[in-house]
A and B are shown apart, each in its own frame.
Chain A
Amino acid sequence: MYDLLIAPFAEFDFMRRALVGVLALGLGAGPVGVLMMLRRMSLAGDAMAHAILPGAAVGFLAAGLNLWAMTAGGLIAGFAVALGAGAVARATQMKEDAALAAFYLVSLALGVLLVSLRGSNVDLLHVLFGTVLALDDATLLLIVAITTITLVVLAALWRPLVLESLDPGFLRSVSRAGAPTHLAFLALVVLNLVGGFHALGTLLAVGMMMLPAAAARFWTRELTALVALAVLIACGSGVLGLLVSYHSGAPSGPAIILVAGGAYALSVLFGSVGGLLPRLVPRRHLEA
C-alpha cells in the first residue's frame, strides 16, 4: 500500500510538485466548473481554452518557453475573446454562445497560423501540451496564486454569482451587479484555464474543470455539496491520475483527465441523483 500510494511522492521531488499542482488546480477549477455547468456554459470553457492558444503561441514565439510571456499572452487572448463575445452578445441580436463560437474559431485559426509560421512546430506542440511533471517554482507559485485569487473572488461574489446562474432575471430586478459579476466570472474562467494550461495544456485544462462538476451533479442537488464534491473529485482524479501515470507509464496529463472521465462514467451509472441504475432499480431500494 505504501509503495503504491505514498512512495512515489516520498521518493521524487517532481511527483510532490505535481501533487501540489493538481491539488491547487482542483481546488480552483472545481467550483468554477460547477458554476459553468449551472450557467449552461459547459462548452464555453472548451471554446475559451481554444481561444487561449494564439495568445500562448504569441508569447512563446516572442520569448520562447517563458512562463510569464505565455501566461500574459494566454490571459490577453482569453480576455479578448471572452469580453469580445460578451460585448457582441449584449450589443447585438446574437446569442452569446454563437458570438463565443465565432470569436474562438477566429482565435484558434490565428493560433494555428502562428504555430505554423514558426519553422518547427514541434516545440510549440510540446508547449501546448504543458506537463504536470515539470512544474518549477515559478509555475507552481503561479498556479497556487491563481487558485487563491479564484477562491477569494468566489467567496466575495458567491451570492450574486449563484443568483445570476440560477435566475439572472431576478438578480437584474434587485441589483445592477449582474454584468460585473458575469465579467468577473469569465475572468476567473480564463485565469483557471491559463493556470491549468501550464500543467495540462490548453485542451486538457478544461477537463479538470468540467468533468468533476458534471460527475458531482449525479450525486447531489445542493450547491455547497456540489462544489465540495467537485473539488473532491478534481483533486482525487489529479492524485489518482498521477499514480496511474507513475505505475503504468501512461502520459500524466491524459491519465489525470481520464481518471476524471472514469469518475464521470461511474457517476452516470450509479449516481444517486438521476444516475442510470438507481432509476432502473425499484424505488424502495433507494430509501434504505
Chain B
Amino acid sequence: MLNRRSWLAALAAVAFAAPALAQDAPPAQKLPVVATFSILGDLVHQVGGDRVRVSTLVGPNGDAHVFQPSPADAKKIAGAKVVFVNGLGFEGWIDRLVKSSGTRAKIFVASKGVEPREMAEEEEDGHDHDNTAEAHGHDHGHDHGGTDPHAWQSVANAKLYVANIRDGLIAADPDGKATYDANAAAYTAKLDALDNEVKAAIVRIPADKRRIITSHDAFGYFGAAYGIEFIAPQGVSTEAEASAKDVAKIIRQIKAEHIPAVFMENISDPRLVKRIANETGAKIGGEVYSDALSDDKGPASTYIDMIENNIREFSSALSS
C-alpha cells in the first residue's frame, strides 16, 4: 500500500501548503508568530520583517467564518511565541483552539482601539443608535447582527492594527524594538499613501453613483470611511439555495433605486448574480477581497494590493 501512503502525503501537502504564508527557510532564531488569517498575517509580516516567522491559520482564499481548525493548526499555535487575532468576534474558534493547544504564547488582539461598527442589518432605524445596539446586543446569531469584525477594510483601522502588532512584537521580543519601530513607521507611511489613493479614487466617482448592492457584509468599515453606500439586498440569506422571492426582491430593489453595480459573491453562486445583472442592467463587479488575501499569483496577495484591487474594482464598476 505504498501507493496509498504517498497519495495521502500528497493530499496533506496540498492541504497544508497553502496556509504557510511565509515559510521560506525557517531559521531557529526567528520569532515564531501565528496570525489567525492571511490579511493579519501580511500586516504582521510587514511589521516583523526578517525577525519573525509568520504562519497563518486561515490561508489565502480561506474563509475564517467557517474555518475548521485542524490538529496542525493547534500545533502551530503551540509552537508560537506570539499569536495575533483580529478580535471583534471574527475568530469564534480561537479561544478553544488556544486552550486545547496548551500554548504559552502571548495573545494580542490586533483590532484594539478600533471603534466597532454594528453589522448593517441593525442600522435601519437611525435614531439613538447606541441604545438600540445595546438593547439588541444579545441574542443575535454570532456572526450576523453583532459587531462587524471586518475592521481592516478601513485603512485608518489598519494603521491601528499595525501599532498593536508593533507593540505586541516588542513585548514579546524587546531586542527587536528598533526594527519593529522602523518597519511599523515605514509601513504606516505606505498606508497613509494608500488611504489618500483610495480617497482620490472615490472623488472621481460621481457622487450619486456611489452605491453598490452587495450581500457581502464585509465592507461596512470601508463604506463608512470612504463614503460608498453599500446596500444590503433585503432579506437575502447567504445559504446555498436562494429563493425566487429573494431574487425578485433584489431585482426590484436594483431597478427602483437605480443601483449601478452588484457585488454579490456570496449569494448562492455566480450564475445567479449574472442572471440578476442581466435582468437589471446593473454591472457585475469584479472580484473583491474582504476576508482573505488571494494567493501569491492573485491580484490581492498583500493587504495593500487587496485594498488597491478592491478600489479599482469598485470604481470601474461605478464610473462607467
Query: Which A residues contact B (CB, under 8 angstroms)?
Result: 8, 11-15, 17-18, 65, 117, 119-120, 122-123, 125-127, 129, 131, 133-136, 139, 242, 245-255
Contacts and interface: CB of A to CB of B under 8 A. Distances in A.
Looking at A11, A246, A249, A253, the one whose CB has the most chain B CB atoms below 10 A away is A249
Interface stretch (B22-30, B195-203, B214-222, B235-243): B235-243
A135 B276 CA distance: 11
7 contacts: A12-B247, A12-B248, A12-B279, A65-B271, A131-B271, A136-B274, A252-B241
Interface in B215-273: 235, 239-248, 251, 268-272
Interface of B: 11, 14-15, 18, 59, 61-63, 66, 235, 239-248, 251, 268-272, 274-276, 278-279
B251 A12 contact: yes
A122 B239 contact: no
A252 B63 CA distance: 26
Given A12-B279, A249-B235, A131 B243 contact: no
Contacts of B18: 119
B244 A133 contact: yes
Given A65-B270, A127-B269, A133-B272, A117 B241 contact: no
A117 B275 contact: no
B59 A253 contact: no
Contacts of A249: 235, 243, 245-246
A127 B270 CA distance: 10
Nearest to B269: A126
B241 to A, nearest CB: 3
The DSSP consensus for interface residues of chain B is helix
Contact of A120 (B63, B269, B272, B276): B63
B279 A131 contact: no
A11 to B, nearest CB: 8
B220 to A, nearest CB: 22
Contacts of B245: 245-249
Looking at A14, A17, A120, the one whose CB has the most chain B CB atoms below 10 A away is A14
Contact of B279 (A14, A18, A65, A135): A14
B282 to A, nearest CB: 14
A122 B63 contact: yes
A13 B243 CA distance: 15
B277 to A, nearest CB: 11
A134 B272 contact: yes
Looking at A65, A119, A129, the one whose CB has the most chain B CB atoms below 10 A away is A119
A245 to B, nearest CB: 4
A126 B279 contact: no
B268 A252 contact: no
A120 B14 contact: no
A14 B251 CA distance: 10
Contacts of B11: 117
Given A120-B61, A120-B63, A122-B63, A131 B244 contact: no
Contacts of B278: 13, 136
A255 B243 contact: yes
Contacts of A254: 241
A233 B220 CA distance: 47
B242 A120 contact: no
Contact of A134 (B240, B243, B251, B274): B274
Given A119-B18, A119-B59, A127-B269, 15 more contacts: A8-B248, A12-B248, A14-B276, A17-B275, A119-B15, A122-B66, A126-B240, A133-B244, A136-B274, A246-B243, A249-B243, A249-B245, A251-B241, A252-B242, A255-B243
Looking at A11, A131, A134, the one whose CB has the most chain B CB atoms below 10 A away is A134
Contact of A246 (B15, B239, B248, B271): B248
B65 to A, nearest CB: 10
A229 to B, nearest CB: 26
A14 B275 contact: yes
A247 B243 CA distance: 9
A248 B59 CA distance: 39
Contacts of B239: 251
Given A12-B279, A251-B241, A131 B269 contact: yes
Contacts of A125: 240
A65 B244 contact: no
Contacts of B59: 119
A133 B242 contact: yes
Contacts of A117: 11, 14
A134 B241 contact: no
Given A134-B271, A136-B274, A253 B241 contact: yes
A249 to B, nearest CB: 4
A65 B276 CA distance: 17
Given A131-B269, A134-B269, A119 B62 contact: yes
A119 B271 contact: no
Nearest to A254: B241
B231 to A, nearest CB: 19
A141 to B, nearest CB: 15
A250 B62 CA distance: 29
